[in-house]
Amino acid sequence: MSESSPNKQPDLTRHTLLEAAFAEIHRHGFQAASIKQILTDTGLSKGALYHHFPDKKTLGIAVVEERVRPVLAALMFEPLRDAPEPLTALREIIRAKARTTDALGVELGCPLNNLMQEMSPLDEDFRRHLGELFEEWVAAISDALRRGKLAGEVRGDVNVRESALFIVSALEGCVGMSKNLQSVKTFKSCLAQLAGFVESLRIAPA
Amino acid sequence: MSESSPNKQPDLTRHTLLEAAFAEIHRHGFQAASIKQILTDTGLSKGALYHHFPDKKTLGIAVVEERVRPVLAALMFEPLRDAPEPLTALREIIRAKARTTDALGVELGCPLNNLMQEMSPLDEDFRRHLGELFEEWVAAISDALRRGKLAGEVRGDVNVRESALFIVSALEGCVGMSKNLQSVKTFKSCLAQLAGFVESLRIAPA
Amino acid sequence: MSESSPNKQPDLTRHTLLEAAFAEIHRHGFQAASIKQILTDTGLSKGALYHHFPDKKTLGIAVVEERVRPVLAALMFEPLRDAPEPLTALREIIRAKARTTDALGVELGCPLNNLMQEMSPLDEDFRRHLGELFEEWVAAISDALRRGKLAGEVRGDVNVRESALFIVSALEGCVGMSKNLQSVKTFKSCLAQLAGFVESLRIAPA
Amino acid sequence: MSESSPNKQPDLTRHTLLEAAFAEIHRHGFQAASIKQILTDTGLSKGALYHHFPDKKTLGIAVVEERVRPVLAALMFEPLRDAPEPLTALREIIRAKARTTDALGVELGCPLNNLMQEMSPLDEDFRRHLGELFEEWVAAISDALRRGKLAGEVRGDVNVRESALFIVSALEGCVGMSKNLQSVKTFKSCLAQLAGFVESLRIAPA
DNA sequence: ACCAACGGGACAGCCCGTTCCT
DNA sequence: AGGAACGGGCTGTCCCGTTGGT
């Protein structure tokens, strides 16, 4: 007790900032994201923000690591980790994505993809962090396909790494396309094609 | 004080501005593109630019219409127009893209895709112009697949529109992915997968 | 014949410019008046304007001399010139002003007054031209009062010059006040008071 | 890089800005008032100003409310408030105004009147704030005249509201006129006429 | 007499980061 | 830990005037 006036929950403040920064960046991109807007949204002040993050760039990278990564992991990596039928699991993830995406999701697109598109050519640090996350994603799918082969689910002639790369690329392409067309419907039909591609990797049932 | 003299080739000035604006936008995105930089690059003045374009946005849209569109048409639309074997032509376009793309092309990505990712959620006018161009692209491929069906080149059960959408989406996804990874090699292997998908639409040879 | 392409009616062009400049200055003041807007309104180009007027300031002074002065003379000076009963004529001018002024007249105020308020402290040339016009006005009323004295219409103890100054000042004050309040009604009641003041200069009827 | 230190007296900074803005606006009008000049005059920075006022317009209105209004109240409203002989007090205010006005006062005119002339037709917010202040002034004089009637100082047939309107209008007209002619002398003789008008409202002494 | 093209400067708005204080 | 005050720079817009041509 009698800890003086400062906030007792610095972690909460940090979390609040991260969340608002994520939303602002998601909406406007990193460069156009306004520090002032984040502050207004949170009701905090410059002092709070610059106490937790030395500058805007560090904040941005923290958003990637602490906000984007966990969500991606929960949605894309975990479900594949121990799936007994990895290929089927992958297909179901894609179908789930198609089902759960709504107008807002289509409007703003994938945060990871947005940031990569914008920042990769501009800043090496951003590129490294984003690239690592992307590689993890590809690796998760590669692993799934590899395990699928061992389980007799995936065709033996499939190039695991290249297929995984293509799947992620095509998925991001579908998100981007639907963002531009602002159409949930085309997003779903596009993902259906991707699910078809995934199925084409399966060993034909006797 | 002004020692200048009116240009006899205003169209050239306009073209010069468009070209420099394209390069600047391609490198930094539209919002971060600097008018001043464009002026420095071209050696022209504020007055010159303001004479040809009322504001930055109009300049940006002019870049889309007068600089991005023609290139895209030449590379992607024209070769499909009268091809006797449309599916093969499409596959060759993809392969050609893979061959001709170098480090710079990978570094900056596809101008159309970049602009769509950045501007579609922010500005309705941009979205409309970019969306139209995108739709033309999809239509060009749809037509090709349709003609391929009539020519007995494409399988009858192929959903023409959906396939075309997916092909363009995946292509843009591949470009974006390689931009992020800054890797020409992965770009090519990713396009190879796409070429494989295209081939999967072909009627199996007897 | 065969006079080549230039406009056959340069005076018309000049007049057109003067008229548009008057309107633009009336609406926004001299400094905020936009050359470009005048050009847009007239459909003419920079070349035309700068052929007839060396710069914006000269244009502004020409508006005063060639557009404001004649109107003021017709409305305020002429009716007093040869009036047999000058004081009554003056009162009638004020009443006529009250009758004929509508919402638009109240909205923008008196062009002469507006320009004097804005430009007198800023530019000596403007001040001189506007001051001369103002003095003419005062002189016209002074003359009327003087002639009214000789005709036994105006009291002998009236300070002719001071009264004239006050009448013009109060008139401009009424215009300005009503412009601010955007009220035609108060303009009229204010002018009624002024008419009352003018009447107070009359010799009391026996 | 910044070697600055936060001010301990933010109110002083705000006051300084307001004062400099008042002077700049008084001299050049609102639209032509230069933010940069205000900053130079005060030795403050863009950031300081932007911290206290969101934009130029807000600054301008704050000048009206916090700088113009109090002065006007002290000079024009207060002396009338509890005066036992309101009409005499009003006359004395006018005479005092004539005595205390010097070349500078004549050169720049009345801040309230200047702003009303310039901004009323251009901006509704300005018009509202300025109009309210103006109405307060008219109300102060109306009250005085009304109380004068009760005290047997003012004639019973005087239209209180209209007379008050006219007095303020004529006063502003006199200020404007003298500003244009840059003449202190004519200002005083003009005010003398106004004082005469005020006296004409008095009940003739038995 | 009139025009398109262009020069160059100024302005308000906005932004990110820093410093002192509590 | 958090807040208010402030620095200083940059951007797009816009504007007035000039020049070679027709």
Bigger pLDDT: A35 vs D9: A35
Assign C54 a pLDDT band (cuts: 50, 70, 90): very high
The closest CB to that of A116, out of B28, B176, B192, belongs to B176
Average pLDDT value for chain A: 92
For chain D residues 52-71, those near strand F by a CB cutoff of 7 A are 52
Q: Does the CB of C182 have a partner CB in chain D at under 8 Å?
A: yes
CA–CA dist A181, C93 (Å, integer): 67
Neighbours of C73 (CB within 10 A): 15
Contact between the CB of D45 and strand F at under 7 Å: yes
pLDDT reading at D190 higher than 70 = yes
CA–CA dist B24, B29 (Å, integer): 7
CA B6 to C1' F18 (Å) is: 10
CB contact under 8 A, D166 and C179: no
Q: Pick from B166, B179, B184, B202 the residue to mutate for testing the A interface (most A CBs within 10 Å).
A: B166
Q: What type of residue sits at position D36? A: K
Distances (CA, A) of B168 to D46, D163, D183: 48, 79, 78
Helices and strands (H, E) in chain B, number of each type: 12, 0
Bigger pLDDT: A144 vs A104: A144
* Mean pLDDT in residue range D34-62: 96
CB contact under 8 A, D180 and C27: no
CA nearest to nucleotide F17 C1': residue: C55
pLDDT at position B204 is: 82
CB contact under 8 A, B169 and A166: no
Segment C7-24, tens digit of pLDDT: 667 789 999 999 999 999
Distances (CA, A) of C96 to A143, B133, C167, D159: 94, 64, 15, 22
CB contact under 8 A, A193 and B27: no
pLDDT at position A167 is: 96
Segment B8-25, tens digit of pLDDT: 687 899 999 999 999 999
Q: Enumerate the β-bridge partners of residue B154.
A: B202
pLDDT at position C2 is: 44
Q: Enumerate the β-bridge partners of residue A189.
A: none
pLDDT reading at C1 higher than 60 = no
Q: Does the CB of B77 have a partner CB in chain A at under 8 Å?
A: no
pLDDT at position B5 is: 58
Q: Does the CB of B184 have a partner CB in chain A at under 8 Å?
A: no
Segment D14-26, tens digit of pLDDT: 999 999 999 999 9
Q: Does the CB of A127 have a partner CB in chain B at under 8 Å?
A: yes
How many CB pairs (< 8 A) connect A and B? Answer: 142
Assign D1 a pLDDT band (cuts: 50, 70, 90): very low
pLDDT reading at C70 higher than 70 = yes
pLDDT reading at C176 higher than 70 = yes
Q: Does the CB of A111 have a partner CB in chain B at under 8 Å?
A: no
Residue whose C-alpha is closest to residue C135's, from C169, C94, C88: C169
CB contact under 8 A, C163 and D197: no
pLDDT at position D206 is: 59
pLDDT reading at C125 higher than 50 = yes
Segment A78-131, tens digit of pLDDT: 999 999 999 999 999 999 999 999 888 888 899 999 999 999 999 999 999 999
Bigger pLDDT: B181 vs C146: C146
The closest CB to that of B121, out of A107, A134, A189, belongs to A107
CA–CA dist A206, D2 (Å, integer): 75
pLDDT at position C206 is: 59
CB contact under 8 A, B172 and A168: no
Q: Does the CB of A200 have a partner CB in chain B at under 8 Å?
A: yes
The closest CB to that of D166, out of C27, C176, C194, belongs to C194
CB contact under 8 A, A174 and B169: yes
CA D45 to C1' E13 (Å) is: 14
Residue whose C-alpha is closest to residue B167's, from B102, B68, B79, B87: B87
Say if CB D201 and CB D158 are below 8 A apart. Answer: yes
pLDDT at position D2 is: 41
* Mean pLDDT in residue range B173-200: 92
DSSP run (H or E) holding B163: helix B160-181
C103: closest chain D residue by CA: D121
pLDDT at position A10 is: 72
pLDDT at position A104 is: 86
The closest CB to that of A173, out of B159, B176, B200, belongs to B176
pLDDT at position B104 is: 86
Closest nucleotide over all strands to B6 (CA to C1'): E5
Three-state SS letters, chain D = CCCCCCCCCHHHHHHHHHHHHHHHHHHHCCCCCCHHHHHHHHCCCHHHHHHHCCCHHHHHHHHHHHHHHHHHHHHHHHHHHCCCCHHHHHHHHHHHHHHHCCHHHHHHCCHHHHHHHHHCCCCHHHHHHHHHHHHHHHHHHHHHHHHHHHCCCECCCCCHHHHHHHHHHHHHHHHHHHHHHCCHHHHHHHHHHHHHHHHCCECCCC
pLDDT reading at A2 higher than 50 = no
- Chain C residues close to D170, C-beta within 8 Å: 166, 169-170, 173-174, 194
**Is D in contact with A (3 or more beta carbon pairs below 8 Å)?**
no
* Mean pLDDT in residue range B31-41: 96
Say if CB B39 and CB B77 are below 8 A apart. Answer: no
pLDDT at position D6 is: 65
pLDDT reading at B160 higher than 70 = yes
Whole-number percent of chain D with pLDDT over 70? 96
Neighbours of D101 (CB within 10 A): 16
Calculate how close chain D gets to C87, using CA atoms only, in Å.
Answer: 17
Q: Which nucleotides of F are covered by protein (CB under 7 A)?
A: 1-22
**Is B in contact with C (3 or more beta carbon pairs below 8 Å)?**
no
Say if CB C33 and CB C21 are below 8 A apart. Answer: yes
pLDDT reading at B200 higher than 70 = yes
CA B144 to C1' F1 (Å) is: 63
CB contact under 8 A, C29 and D31: yes
CB contact under 8 A, C118 and D117: yes
- Tell me the H-state helices in chain A: 10-28, 35-42, 46-52, 56-63, 69-72, 78-81, 86-100, 103-108, 111-119, 124-150, 160-181, 184-199
Contact between the CB of A15 and strand E at under 7 Å: no
Q: What is the total residue count of chain D?
A: 206
CA nearest to nucleotide E13 C1': residue: D55
Whole-number percent of chain B with pLDDT over 70? 96
* Mean pLDDT in residue range B33-39: 97
For chain C residues 31-90, those near strand F by a CB cutoff of 7 A are 33-37, 46-47, 50, 54-57
pLDDT at position B130 is: 95
CA–CA dist B9, B15 (Å, integer): 10
CA–CA dist B145, B143 (Å, integer): 5
Assign B1 a pLDDT band (cuts: 50, 70, 90): very low
Neighbours of B205 (CB within 10 A): 4
b (16+ CB within 10 A) / e for D136-145:
ebbebbbbbb
pLDDT reading at A3 higher than 90 = no
Contact between the CB of D46 and strand F at under 7 Å: yes
Say if CB C54 and CB C46 are below 8 A apart. Answer: no
Residue C55 φ/ψ region, left for φ over 0, alpha for ψ in the -120 to 50 degree band, beta for the rest: beta
Say if CB A191 and CB A98 are below 8 A apart. Answer: yes
Residue with tokens 């007198």: C120
pLDDT at position C6 is: 53
pLDDT at position B206 is: 59
Q: Does the CB of B21 have a partner CB in chain A at under 8 Å?
A: no
Most distant pair of Cα atoms in chain C: their distance = 74
Segment D51-99, tens digit of pLDDT: 999 999 999 999 999 999 999 999 999 999 999 999 999 999 999 999 9
Neighbors of chain A with 3 or more C-beta pairs under 8 Å:
B
B25: closest chain A residue by CA: A118
Calculate how close chain B gets to A197, using CA atoms only, in Å.
Answer: 7
A201: closest chain B residue by CA: B197
Which is it for the CA torsion C185, D63, D56, C56, positive or negative? positive
Segment A8-33, tens digit of pLDDT: 677 899 999 999 999 999 999 999 99
- Chain B residues close to A190, C-beta within 8 Å: 162, 165-166, 169
